[in-house]
Amino acid sequence: VSVAGLTPRQPGTGEPICERVDPATLFVDHEYQRTVGEKGRRQIRQIIEKFCWTKFKPPICAYAEHEGRTILKVLDGQHTAIAAASNPHVGLIPVMIVEAADTSAQAAAFVGQNTQRLGVTNLQLHHSAVLAGHPESVDVQRTCDRAGVRVLRNLPGSGRYQPGDTIAIAAIKALVSRREPLGARVILEVLAKAHLAPITALHIKAAEYVMTDSEMSIKLDPDEFSKTIGDLYLSAEDEAKLVAKTLRTSEWKALGSIWYRKTKKKRQVMRLVA
């Protein structure tokens, strides 16, 4: 990366050192770290059950004084450290030790560890899970591929989506879980044929609402439904916001109702009885 126009900062402390320690001897300072709640305990239990060195990230620690003796405080990675200390098959773990002599410096290091990094997105996790062969993620990806929906790896740099693009991976996973791959594919296919750019979580929930309602779905022709969704696009979403606010209902339900109301229904064939 070019440093033109930048003023590179010279490190104010020595470089970190790596040591192997007994995780049970580590300390956590709750002056700047949150206590472990129920969600954190669930995460720790999962780490214990699935402990694997290939997924292990060494906790970041610093030496400190406590009641007249030198200890190692965990600045980042307390869940990992607690899981390792709780696992009877783990003795020593590698930790990275940085210079942070007092609580203020340790708190600053904690903030830096948790803000000066790029978070892994749901999209990145999904594509990595597909590559790793995780069955649920593979099912989701196949469902999208067969429906003509393209799950992006990142947000488009230009901000411009192509028809059939989506970043709503969480909504799609939930849809596949509720409706099984075949049912989810039918719903996603209708949205893909509408040439939405992008397909959002709102679209997915609205289409699912209409297409799984016994009264509405029986009267719908999927191709006509796709055409209506594509023709209305943003105008229907604007109308749905007003309807949802007025009727105090969900925006996706309002959008689905608007789509359904404006879609040409199947022709009702009357059967003559002799």
Q: pLDDT (tens digit, 9 = 90+) per residue, 175-191?
A: 999 999 999 999 999 99
User: Whole-prediction pTM value?
Assistant: 0.67
Q: What does the pLDDT average to over 113-129?
A: 74
State pLDDT tens for residues 256-272. Answer: 999 999 999 876 544 44
Q: Which residues pair with 65 in a beta bridge?
A: 70
Q: Do the beta carbons of residue 32 and residue 103 sit within 8 Å?
A: yes
> Is the model more confident about 127 or about 266?
127
State pLDDT tens for residues 31-47. Answer: 766 678 888 899 999 99
Q: What is the side-by-side strand order in the sheet with 26-27? A: 17-21, 93-98, 60-66, 69-76, 26-27
Distance CA 227, CA 230 (A): 5
Q: What CATH code is assigned to 17-115?
A: 3.90.1530.10
Q: Pinpoint the residues of the chain covered by CATH 3.90.1530.10.
A: 17-115
Q: What does the pLDDT average to over 219-234?
A: 93
The CB-side HSE value for 60 (13 A sphere, CA atoms) comes to 16
- The pLDDT-based confidence of 86 (bands split at 50, 70, 90) is very high
Q: Do the beta carbons of residue 95 and residue 58 sit within 8 Å?
A: yes
